[in-house]
Amino acid sequence: MTQVKICGLTDPDLVRFAAQKGADWIGFVFVEASPRYVTEAAAATLLMQAGRSVPVALLVNPDDAQIERIVALGIRTLQLHGSETPDRVAEIKSATGAEVWKAMGVATSEDLERAALYTAADRLLIDAKPPEGADRTGGHGLAFDWTLMQGWGAPKPWLLAGGLTPDNVGEAIRLTGAPAVDVSSGVERLKGLKDRALVQTFIEAAKAQ
């Protein structure tokens, strides 16, 4: 059964709802440029509703002080969505003992090959590259050519992200063989505002594969 991460949650009721409907991970965005940004104080409240879902902190080029504060909240899975090098990933993992994911922006097969450099990462998040001039690295609702994934030998456990919706997640899983999927804008009725029906339908569609 495919695992599911619902990312960019900002409302306690939606966190609780997603957890109750079977989300394996709940993502909180600690990036001010994002419409889904949450403060560390707000995250402390959101975490109380996560239930059995594992909380994940989405960070972009975080410094050591931010990482310490996030881990102190009790979040033990860190998703690095910036230009972090393989050495930086290893450094963060060694310093915190947390599970560390590295997001990879993909547009070509060469982008996929870079994933093998991140030997310290526990998981990889394979996402679409952001459009030119974007002010943030993810959450754009864009897909990449999923056929690039066919025949790819993943060096680590991984999640598929980028442009996924309740309508296309089944096809995406079939084409890529993704063991897990990550969605944010694809379950929103307005930018940054999740929709309960879309969240539930997405989880059901993904886990049916």
**Which are the catalytic amino acids?**
7, 127
SS3 sequence of the chain:
CCEEEEECCCCHHHHHHHHHCCCCEEEEECCCCCCCECCHHHHHHHHCCCCCCEEEEEECCCCHHHHHHHHHCCCCEEEECCCCCHHHHHHHHHHHCCEEEEEEEECCHHHHHHHHHCCCCCEEEEEECCCCCCCCCCCCCCCCCHHHHCCCCCCCCEEECCCCCCCCHHHHHHHHCCCEEEECHHHEEECCEECHHHHHHHHHHHHCC
Rounded to whole angstroms, the Cα distance separating 146 from 107 reads 10
Cβ-contact 203, 23 below 8 angstroms: yes
Closest by Cα among 3, 47, 51 to 28: 47
